[in-house]
């Protein structure tokens, strides 16, 4: 574990290996240890940086900016301090949202993206995540993390995770997150994070309106078939938004495919990096994409695509990426 104080806040991170850089971003309530089953394998031929995001793990938990943009800036600053200019960003769950925001804000520093059970691809999210936005969360969780209560509940979650019963696969990881809430600063930071991206109806941040900007960016999407936190349908939605993406759905896996199948996951990431050409966006290219938006295509083809959207339930800004797909295919 290493530490860097940036903008007055101490940030914890692990940095191992040599080679092209991988930035591993954990999910809500987790820390760098969520990657401990894959770090050594990835570090065989990569420089792996796995930070504890602000408000998590051993990093500071100040009253600060916990927005996606704030986290992306924090990762830019950490990489700058470490002397790393360009990275492949691997983001799990909330970390996937940070990964997409990082690529949006700093395309010239992003070579590829790997999204793992990522947020930001649709509205649906588990009721437990939505509950964090409610006014009484801090007080209720304070009572639930009293020593005896916490021990009983965490033990029960871990036992259930080994039963094979429906919807219990991820409860061991849930227990780890639950135990971090013993620290009131962690509870407060988590509440700020969730309120920035989720309301009572679900996720409020989406990549749909900016998917066309990633057309030159290698993208891999990994999901567990039994994910009950963010449904696996979001992986297929990612494919519609970014038809050039590689999508891998792992069977017998929940919200943490990198922990359920670490060897397969590490091999997938290493192969994806080896087989894809890193993005090399210039500022001029980025400007042209922003100015042009979704290119115009023949109305006949647009109408065909919209008819298919109606059947698939795809509406609104998701059509933008599909129109871009038609243009790229020469339709």
**Can you give 150-164 as a three-state secondary structure string?**
HHHHHHHHHHHHCCC
Instruction: Identify whether the C-beta of residue 260 lies closer than 8 Å to the C-beta of residue 267.
Output: no
Of 32, 56, 93, 117, the catalytic one is 93
> Judging by DSSP bridges, how do beta strands 198-199 and 110-116 pair with one another?
unpaired
Q: How far apart are CA 86 and CA 20, in angstroms?
A: 8
Reported as half-sphere exposure (CB side, CA atoms, 13 A), residue 18 has a value of: 0
Q: How far apart are CA 241 and CA 217, in angstroms?
A: 13
Q: How far apart are CA 42 and CA 40, in angstroms?
A: 6
Provide DSSP, 48-67. EEEE--TTSTTS---S---S
Q: What is the DSSP letter of 206?
A: -
Helix H or strand E encompassing 12: strand 9-16
Q: Is 59 a catalytic residue?
A: no
Q: How far apart are CA 52 and CA 12, in angstroms?
A: 5
> Judging by DSSP bridges, how do beta strands 110-116 and 246-250 pair with one another?
unpaired
Of 192, 255, 258, 261, the catalytic one is 255
Closest to 128 (Cα-Cα) out of 164, 98, 170: 170
Instruction: Identify whether the C-beta of residue 202 lies closer than 8 Å to the C-beta of residue 127.
Output: no
Of 31, 227, 260, 327, the catalytic one is 227
Q: Is 227 a catalytic residue?
A: yes
Active site residues: 93, 227, 255
């Amino acid at each position: 574990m290493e530490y860097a104080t940036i903008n007055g806040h101490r940030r914890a991170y692990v940095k191992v290996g040599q080679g092209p850089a991988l930035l591993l971003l954990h999910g809500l309530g987790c820390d760098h240890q969520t990657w401990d089953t894959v770090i050594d394998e990835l570090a065989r031929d990569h420089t792996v940086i796995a930070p504890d995001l602000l408000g998590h793990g051993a990093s500071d938990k100040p009253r600060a900016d916990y927005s996606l943009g704030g986290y992306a800036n924090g990762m830019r600053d950490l990489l700058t301090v470490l002397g790393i200019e360009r990275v492949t960003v691997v983001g799990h769950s909330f970390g996937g949202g940070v990964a997409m925001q990082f690529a949006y804000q700093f395309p010239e520093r992003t070579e590829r993206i790997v999204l793992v059970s990522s947020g930001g691809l649709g509205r649906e999210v588990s009721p437990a995540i939505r509950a964090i936005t409610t006014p009484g969360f801090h007080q209720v969780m304070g009572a639930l993390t009293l020593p005896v209560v916490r021990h009983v509940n965490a033990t029960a979650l871990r036992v259930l995770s080994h039963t094979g019963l429906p919807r219990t696969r991820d409860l061991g990881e849930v227990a780890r997150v639950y135990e971090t809430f013993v620290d009131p600063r962690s509870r407060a930071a988590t509440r700020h994070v969730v309120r920035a991206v989720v309301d009572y109806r679900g996720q409020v941040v989406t990549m749909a309106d900016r998917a066309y900007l990633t057309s030159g960016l290698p993208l891999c999407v990994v999901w567990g078939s039994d994910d009950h936190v963010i449904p696996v349908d979001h992986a297929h939605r990612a494919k519609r938004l970014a038809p050039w993406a590689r999508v891998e759905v792992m069977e017998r896996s929940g919200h943490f495919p990198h922990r359920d199948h670490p060897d397969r996951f590490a091999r997938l990431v290493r192969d994806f990096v080896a087989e894809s050409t890193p993005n090399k966006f210039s500022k001029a290219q980025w400007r042209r994409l922003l100015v042009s938006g979704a290119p115009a295509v023949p109305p006949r083809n647009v109408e065909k695509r919209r008819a298919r959207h109606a059947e698939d339930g795809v509406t609104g800004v998701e059509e933008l990426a599909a129109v871009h797909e038609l243009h790229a295919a020469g339709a």
